[in-house]
A and B are shown apart, each in its own frame.
Chain A
Amino acid sequence: MSDQAVSLPPATIGREASGPSGPKPRHRFSRRNIFLYGTLIVVALYYLLPLYVMVVTSLKGMPEIRLGNIFSPPLEITFEPWVKAWSQACTGLNCDGLSRGFWNSVRITVPSVILSIAIASVNGYALANWRFKGADTFFVILIVGAFIPYQVMIYPIVIILREIGLYGSLSGLVIVHSIFGMPILTLLFRNYFSSMPEELFRAARVDGAGFWGIYLRIMLPMSLPIFVVAVILQVTGIWNDFLFGVVYTRPDTYPMTVQLNNIVNSVQGVKEYNVNMAATILTGLVPLIVYFLSGKLFVRGIAAGAVKG
């Protein structure tokens, strides 16, 4: 192509001249694309393979599992293990499956998420817009809280909960989750509210709105993305929590994760791999669904919250 262009007599070089014009052609199988997509596919497979094995195993009967072909699809699909995992598997004295733990987790997660986000959003709003004296110090202390290892605080919190009579109850765990969510959520909300134009806040003050008026009527309606991020962070974080669940609750109030552990690790009888797999997938389903439903908003919110510090 280029030789041709060069060899053209000068008179024809002009509007009629051939040569590159219009959009640059793209090569589907360029080296860059092969490398890029190849890497992505390999990584995706790496992550998806265990999930595949879990789903396949959970749909097999025990005799089929004993054959040992873990990658082969089920010859005979059965949902028996799922039913058993949900409603019949035994943990200790109870034999009502994961359902008990599921409802416990719901009772823990829902109030914890609402409480922690409600408090943290007001915290962030106050820190961003109502710069009170010592606000920065307060903020630093709060952030330092995010770096203290949980293990250090477990025992003191046990004592505190015991003293106020909440040890072993669901409300005790709700309070613990709300407190531990505070540093990161406050940071998230503070940064988001700081990125909003300050003149908006001033205009609302001139219009006569007070602390709560501005928060509820101006700031809240504008902050859906960051609330979605906070909800996702908290739902997955609290749902997946094991440590606090096992420490601060009793067997009949164990969250789903603790119960899953008890089902999978129970030593009596045969290992029912299919039931274990089904139980694990069931437990992981809630965060998974949350991610799928809110993926786009999540990315948008993360970007919005991270822009300004």
Chain B
Amino acid sequence: MTAIANPSVSIQDLSLNFGAISVLETLNLDVAEGEFIVLLGPSGCGKSTLLNCIAGLLDISEGRIFIKGKNVTWEEPKDRGIGMVFQSYALYPQMTVERNLSFGLRVAGLAKDEIAKRIARAAEILQIEPLLQRKPAALSGGQRQRVAIGRALVRDVDVFLFDEPLSNLDAKLRSELRVEIKLLHRKLENTMIYVTHDQIEAMTLADRIAVMKGGVIQQLDAPQTIYNRPVNRFVAGFLGSPAMNFLEGRLEKDKGDWQFAVEDVRIPLATYTFEKEPAPGPAVFGIRPEHVAFNSGAGWPFTATTSVEVVEPMGSDTLVWLKLGGQNFTVRVTSERTPNNEDTVGIGFDPMRASLFDAQTGNRL
């Protein structure tokens, strides 16, 4: 983790326990000014809990939270300079959109003309002007979520917190609003912390992704780095759809060159960059289905011939299931080149694009 000079949000040694259960463990995270950070992980990994801690909705057990250089560990949510958008929108059902937007400002006792000004600005940015006099019940899901974002917007805060804001929407709306959130971020240049379990949202929106598991940040890096150089087997398997291929085998040295052995298959690792000098022993070899070439003959450091087991057309691509070294192996091919079941095909790839993990710890080798 590289140090950030003037972090917008800084979480230091944060721990959270519910009784004997530890949900977050001495977690550290620095978010730069104007950065879009996505907290990504499976359900129960603590990502929403972390967001609630930042918002001040949960009391933490240990550690400190800074927002804009101010220690807000003991501050009330409203005093932290944050706006939050919830998965269920959490609009006040009895109030019109306008009253929903202005609620926080009215509580804070702002002047009427200032409130009107801020609502007008937010409504313009989010294009919800025609909806201002409606009740939430009369809005569609996408409109509701826009109003929910507006409620954070009018607060004129430094940090936006999103708690799975698109999970309740259908696929089409989700991709539309995803783009809108991205544009909004570009326009406002606020710091945004965004929780999701959807890897596509994470990949498309984030400046940096923090992949979480069991209350611990596994990897914090740019989306491409996380995708191409996952630090452990969990991160490698969690990101990417279809998922990365894993082959369980052994790391061996053959005439001074490292190679990976599964049954009678030998994968030369001359092009692979090790994190540090490895030792022979059991290991896991991972390669993404789209990094494997199909029927391309020679020219690859590794080639093999095998037979097709199942073909899964997915529209734009086709996923082909094979066996390699006795283990399942998938290859992603363009639709035009779809083979038939039980065809014998040749595959090839460059281990440069692969990832090797320790069989025990799962860490990248």
When each residue 174-211 of chain B gets 1 if its CB lies under 8 Å from chain A and 0 otherwise, what string results?
00000000000000000000000000000000000000
Q: Determine whether B108 belongs to the interface, using a CB cutoff of 8 Å to chain A.
A: yes
Within 8 A of A (CB), among B144-165: 151, 155, 163
Which A residue's beta carbon lies closest to that of B79?
A208
Contact between chains at A199 and B78 (CB < 8 Å): no
4 smallest CB-CB distances across A and B, nearest first, come from: A208-B78, A207-B104, A199-B90, A203-B90
Contact assessment for B86 and A203 in the assembled complex, using a CB-CB cutoff below 8 Å: yes
List chain B positions with a Cβ less than 8 A from chain A: 52, 55-57, 76-78, 82-84, 86-94, 103-104, 107-108, 151, 155, 163
**Nearest chain A CB to B354's CB is how many angstroms away?**
42
Q: Are A197 and B77 in contact (CB under 8 A)?
A: no
Residue contact B93 to A202, C-beta cutoff 8 Å: no
Q: Are B77 and A206 in contact (CB under 8 A)?
A: yes
CA distance A209 to B76 in the complex (A): 10
- Asked if B88 and A218 sit within 8 Å, CB to CB, the answer is no
Give Cα distance in the complex from A238 to B56, angstroms. 44
Q: Is the CB of A206 within 8 A of B88?
A: no
Contact between chains at B87 and A206 (CB < 8 Å)? no
- Residues B57 and A197 in contact, CB atoms below 8 Å apart: no
Residues of B within 8 A of A218 (CB): 92
Residue numbers in A under 8 Å from B82 (CB-CB): 206
Query: What number of A-B contacts does a CB cutoff of 8 Å give?
Result: 58
Kindly report which residue of chain A lies nearest to residue B94, judged by CB atoms.
A221
Partner among B78, B88, B94 whose Cβ is within 8 Å of the Cβ of A197: B88
When the two chains form their complex, are residues A202 and B78 in contact, meaning their CB atoms are under 8 A apart? no
Contact at B88–A208, with CB atoms within 8 Å?
A: no
Chain A interface, >50% SS class: helix
Q: Which chain A residues have a beta carbon within 8 Å of chain B's beta carbons?
A: 197, 199-200, 202-209, 213, 217-218, 221-222
B84 pairs with A202, CB closer than 8 A: yes
Q: Which residues of A contact B56 (CB under 8 A)?
A: 205
Given contacts A202-B57, A208-B77, A208-B78, 16 further A-B contacts (CB under 8 A): A197-B90, A199-B87, A199-B88, A199-B90, A200-B92, A202-B86, A202-B90, A203-B86, A205-B77, A206-B83, A207-B151, A208-B76, A208-B108, A209-B103, A213-B107, A217-B103
17 A-B contact pairs sorted by A residue (CB < 8 Å): A197-B88, A197-B90, A199-B86, A202-B52, A202-B84, A203-B90, A206-B57, A206-B77, A206-B82, A206-B104, A207-B104, A207-B151, A208-B78, A209-B103, A209-B104, A209-B107, A217-B103
How far does the Cβ of A2 sit from chain B's closest Cβ, in whole Å? 44
| Contact partners of B91 in chain A: CB under 8 A | 203
Task: Tell me the minimal C-beta distance from B273 to chain A in angstroms.
Answer: 45
Residues of A within 8 A of B83 (CB): 206
Asked if B108 and A205 sit within 8 Å, CB to CB, the answer is: no
Contacts of B151 in A (CB 8 A): 203, 207
**Chain A nearest CB, measured from B218 CB (Å):** 27
A217 neighbours in B (Cβ, 8 Å): 103
Name the residue of chain A whose CB is nearest to the CB of B83. A206
Asked whether B107 lies within 8 Å of A207 as measured between CB atoms, the reply is yes
Residues on B with C-beta less than 8 A from A205 are 56-57, 76-78
Most buried by B among A199, A200, A204, A206: A206
Q: Point out the residue from A197, A206, A213, A222 that lies within 8 Å of B84, measured CB to CB.
A: A206
Chain A residues lying within 8 Å of B107, measured Cβ to Cβ, are: 207-209, 213
B78–A207 CB distance below 8 A: yes
- Please judge, given known A-B contacts A208-B107, A208-B108, whether A203 and B94 are in contact too, CB under 8 Å: no
Q: Write out the residue numbers on chain A whose beta carbons fall within 8 Å of the beta carbon of B163.
A: 199
Q: Distance (Å) between the CB of B85 and the closest chain A CB?
A: 9
Residues from chain A with Cβ under 8 Å of B103 in the complex: 204, 207, 209, 217
B22 CB, min distance to chain A CBs, angstroms: 20
Contact at A206–B92, with CB atoms within 8 Å? no
A101 to chain B, nearest CB (A): 40
Nearest Cβ distance between residue A3 and chain B, in whole angstroms?
A: 49
A229 vs chain B, min Cβ distance (A): 19
What is the CB-to-nearest-CB distance from B286 to chain A, in angstroms, rounded to a whole number?
A: 38
For residue B155, which residues in chain A have a CB less than 8 angstroms away from its CB?
Answer: 207
Q: Which of A197, A200, A203, A213 has the most chain B CB within a 10 Å cutoff?
A: A203
Q: How far is the CA of A218 from the CA of B104 in the complex (A)?
A: 12
Cross-chain contact of B55 among A206, A208, A221, A222 (Cβ < 8 A)? A206
- B108 surroundings in chain A (CB, below 8 A): 208
- Chain B residue numbers with a CB within 8 Å of A222 are 93-94
Q: Would you call A200 and B78 a contact (CB within 8 A)?
A: no
Q: Which residues of B contact A221 (CB under 8 A)?
A: 94
Pair B84/A203 contact, Cβ less than 8 Å: yes
Q: Within 8 Å CB of B78, what residues of A? A: 205-208
Query: In the docked arrangement, what's the CA distance between A221 and B93, Å?
Result: 9
Task: With both chains docked as a complex, state the minimum distance between the C-beta of B158 and any C-beta of chain A, in angstroms.
Answer: 14
A217 to B93, CA, bound (A): 11
Complex CA gap A207/B84 in Å reads 9
Q: Could you tell me the distance between the alpha carbons of A139 and B57 in the complex, rounded to whole angstroms?
A: 23
- Chain B hits for A204, CB < 8 A: 92, 103
What is the CB-to-nearest-CB distance from B342 to chain A, in angstroms, rounded to a whole number? Answer: 40
